[in-house]
Structure 1
Amino acid sequence: MAIVTLADAKAQLNISASDTSQDVELQVYVDAATAAVETQLGQVVEPRTIVDQLDFASSVTAFLLRSVPVVSLTSIVALDGTQTWGVSPSVVRVDGGSGCVTVLSGPPVKGSVLATYQAGMTVVPAHFRLAALIIVQHLWETQRGTMGVRLNSGGDDNYVAGRGFAIPRRAIELLGPQLPGVA
């Protein structure tokens, strides 16, 4: 899935909805823009199921899931299938923003486990969608040579020094500062 649809991208690029000749290629750009937005933000935007393998040397009653925001926790199962932990709100509490899972009752989590959960945003903010469209347009136009790429550093508002070329400055500004990761 993607933050924006193929139809959204075609509208941004002024490509007729009936012109399907470039749909496969354009979908690659849409998917790449989704990945770029999520990398820049340091979180999942497009909702999807995530499965984390977590390894605990000792028993724990709290742990972090790798992808946020967490919408819901589906299951926690020992990798060898010998144990399953309940995921109802009376058994575990999930902080969606941080991805912290706290065991409230029952046995602590131990060993190697698979945690399955839904991560992403239930509503994608308009400025994230616009940033994705700007990235799609930028990648599409530079690949086609319609932009007149300038590599000078003076007066060029498309690029941020040290940040590469794929995400234009205006998209970065729409996304805001990148959140720090968990070390």
Structure 2
Amino acid sequence: MEPREVAERHDAESGRRILVLRTTPVLSLTSVEPLLDGDVAYPVDGLVLDPDTGEVRRRDRGWFRGLLLLTVQAGRAQTPTTVNLAARMLVQHLWRTQRPPRSGGLAGGGEDYSVGQPLCTLRIL
């Protein structure tokens, strides 16, 4: 997943200790701004972000209050090797099973698993 900027609205008017982002994983928290005049802005250096769960807490263990707009950089810095390999294997399988067999039959023709080369020949870039 390519990194991208995401903005989320969170309602903490009744007070919350933790805000949970709807978009994960998260690379960084960019800003937490109030949506209403008079609400408090929270500097990001005073917050703790769990990038995997999307939980945002205050370092001083205080409460969030007000309608807030959280802006984050969501995604992964690098695609895991296992995900890359799995995607390549899937594309290779789909390519081979959707081409007509050499005998001239229909595409797929019941030969889904009779590929000529093993799947392990893929190179990881």
Which bin holds the TM-score, normalised by the shorter protein?
A: 0.5 to 0.7
Residue from 22, 41, 59 that aligns with 1:84: 41
**Secondary structure of the residue that 1:49 maps to in structure 2?**
strand
Percent identity between the two aligned chains: 31
For each residue in 1:103-139, what CA deviation from the matched residue of structure 2 results, as whole angstroms up to 9, or x when unmatched?
Answer: 1239632232111011222221122123333455566
Distance 1:134 1:116 in 2: 35
Q: CA deviation at 1:87?
A: 0.5
More helix by share: 1
Can you give the 5+ residue segments of structure 2 that lack an aligned partner in the other structure?
101-106, 114-118, 120-125
> Which structure has the higher relative contact order (CA within 8 Å, separation 6+)?
2
* CA–CA distance in structure 2, aligned partners of residues 54 and 60 of structure 1: 10
Q: TM-score, normalised by structure 1?
A: 0.47
Mapped to 1, the partners of 2:36 and 2:27 lie a distance apart of 26
Is 1:149 the counterpart of 2:102 in the alignment? no
C-alpha distance in structure 1 between counterparts of 2:93 and 2:67, whole Å = 43
Q: Distance in 2 between matches of 1:67 and 1:134?
A: 27
User: Match for 2:30: what amino acid?
Assistant: T
- State the AA in 1 paired with 2:2: E
When you count strand as a share of all residues, which structure comes out higher?
A: 2
Alignment of 1:10-159 (within 5 A): 45-80=1-36, 82=38, 83-88=40-45, 91-105=46-60, 108-136=63-91, 141=95, 145-146=98-99, 148-149=107-108
Cα-to-partner distance string for 1:120-163 (whole Å, 9 max, x where unaligned): 22221122123333455566x49xx526236x8xx966xxxxxx
For structure 1, which runs of at least 5 residues remain unmatched after alignment?
A: 1-44, 158-169, 171-183
How many matched pairs? Answer: 106
Paired residue type of 1:129:
N
Secondary structure, counterpart of 2:88 in structure 1 = helix
92-101 vs 72-81, which moves further: 72-81
What is the RMSD computed on CA atoms of the aligned residues? 3.0
